[in-house]
Homo-oligomer: A and B are copies of this chain.
Amino acid sequence: MQRRKFISAALAGAGGIGAATSFPAPAIAQSMPAVNWRMASSFPKSLDTIFGVSERIARRVEEATDGKFKIRVFAAGEIVPGLQVLDAVQSGTVECGHSAGGYYAGKDPTFGFDGNIPFGMNARQQTAWLLFGGGQEQMRDLYKEYNIINFMAGNTGAQMGGWFRKELKTPEDLKGIKFRIGGFGGPVMTKLGVIPQMIPGGDVYISLEKGTIDGAEWIGPYDDEKLGFYKIAKYYYYPAWWEGCAQLSLFCNIASFNKLPKVYQAILEAACHEGQMWMTAKYDAQNPAALRRLVAAGAQLRPFSRSIMDAAFKAANELYAELSAKNPRFKKVYETWLPYRDEQILWWSVAEHSFESYMIAATSARSGKR
């Protein structure tokens, strides 16, 4: 009885009198259980911005739950190969994964609309489509068949078109070129006569050096600089018309997600949404200085010519017509995605693009630096 008395008194002291009669403390404890998840990333740690956002999401979840909900992040290959993250989340091998829908276009090309499709939207437009244009609902219908619920979790912004050993002036110059390219750009390149090569990032430099490939695209100045392509393929083309943005997503196993308390679900979603903003900002912050260093080191900046862009645009539209004929789901999404993209671009051309165009003209004229 003495011990019981002590326990009761101690509980009353720690949790307040109410704790012993209405049990609010245990109720809160139940709503904040210890949860440990593993996140498989499709990316190596060396991509410190893309990998960084997954770590940041995990850290935010942990600090917002007082350490109760922990997510341990694993780089590509540590527990799951980079391109099998969707499969690992689908099977429940890991509770979640950080990846890009476009990597799974081989399973269903509809994954490309998750922000990894040639001549798609820019990062802001993609975000608008996902959140407010019905995009997320359409993508979730698809991911659901893989036992996954997806959350936007980072975007690179428009990427660079890659490194070539020779200048490219017309679509003819693309024919027969062996070009390292990932994702949905490959099939469009094939239509242009390019021989696309899917080579992991770590092997690209040596392939270029040996002449196994004639060119390689990666991401943008900040990441490209680290791989050193400028030393052996100095023509640096822009833009990556196949990645006007590249959307990253957190894939959660649906059963695992549904087991989370609602509070944790809300925190995880908020952390992913914060990551969407954070990753683009980090790239925007890092790319300008990296571009300057690359140009100083000898990179020759070149825009793709209008004739190459037009040929690629035509090839992409042909591919989408073919995919629509074969795949009813692709067709269904494409038919709402396409007018949404075009309306976004029409509005973009007014305030945003005219402002940016003026700023480009005015600041280059003033400083005389371009």
Decide yes or no whether A241 CB sits under 8 A from chain B. Answer: yes
**A122 x B241 contact (CB < 8 A):** no
Query: Which residues of B have CB within 8 Å of A20?
Result: 7, 11
Decide yes or no whether A84 CB sits under 8 A from chain B. Answer: no
CB distance from A115 to the nearest CB of B (A): 13
CB distance from A312 to the nearest CB of B (A): 10
| Nearest residue, chain B, Cβ from A240 | B351
* Chain A 263-292 residues near chain B, CB threshold 8 A: 263, 266-267, 270-271, 273-274, 276-278, 280-282, 284-289, 291-292
Query: Which residues of B have CB within 8 Å of A343?
Result: 288-289, 292
Query: Which residues of B have CB within 8 Å of A144?
Result: none
Query: Which residues of B have CB within 8 Å of A158?
Result: 351-352, 354-356
CB distance from A347 to the nearest CB of B (A): 4
**B360 x A64 contact (CB < 8 A):** no
Taken residue by residue from 330 to 370, chain A's Cβ proximity to chain B (1 for < 8 Å, 0 otherwise) reads as 00000000000111111111111111111110111001011
* A125: contacting residue among B65, B273, B284, B354, CB under 8 A: B284
CB distance from A161 to the nearest CB of B (A): 8
**A347 x B32 contact (CB < 8 A):** no
A288 to B367, alpha carbons, bound, how many Å? Answer: 34
Query: Which residues of B have CB within 8 Å of A19?
Result: 25-26, 29
**A277 x B127 contact (CB < 8 A):** yes
Query: Which residues of B have CB within 8 Å of A23?
Result: 10-11, 14-15
| Nearest residue, chain B, Cβ from A152 | B277
| Nearest residue, chain B, Cβ from A131 | B281
Query: Which residues of B have CB within 8 Å of A131?
Result: 278, 281-282, 285
**A347 x B122 contact (CB < 8 A):** no
Known: A158-B351, A263-B65, A281-B127. A359 touches B271 (CB 8 A): no
**A352 x B64 contact (CB < 8 A):** no
**B15 x A241 contact (CB < 8 A):** no
**B4 x A313 contact (CB < 8 A):** no
| Nearest residue, chain B, Cβ from A67 | B263
Decide yes or no whether A176 CB sits under 8 A from chain B. Answer: no
Given contacts A19-B25, A128-B284, A267-B267, 15 further A-B contacts (CB under 8 A): A28-B32, A65-B263, A66-B262, A122-B356, A128-B285, A129-B285, A131-B278, A132-B281, A161-B351, A239-B352, A270-B270, A270-B274, A346-B370, A353-B357, A357-B357
Q: Which residues of A contact B (CB under 8 A)?
A: 1, 4-5, 7-8, 10-11, 14-16, 19-21, 23-32, 60, 63-66, 119, 122-125, 127-133, 157-161, 220-221, 238-241, 244, 262-263, 266-267, 270-271, 273-274, 276-278, 280-282, 284-289, 291-292, 301, 303, 309-310, 313, 341-360, 362-364, 367, 369-370
Listed from nearest, the 5 A-B pairs whose CB atoms lie closest are A132-B285, A14-B26, A15-B26, A239-B355, A128-B284
Supply 8 A–B pairs (Cβ within 8 Å), ascending by A: A25-B26, A32-B32, A127-B284, A128-B282, A274-B274, A274-B277, A345-B356, A353-B353
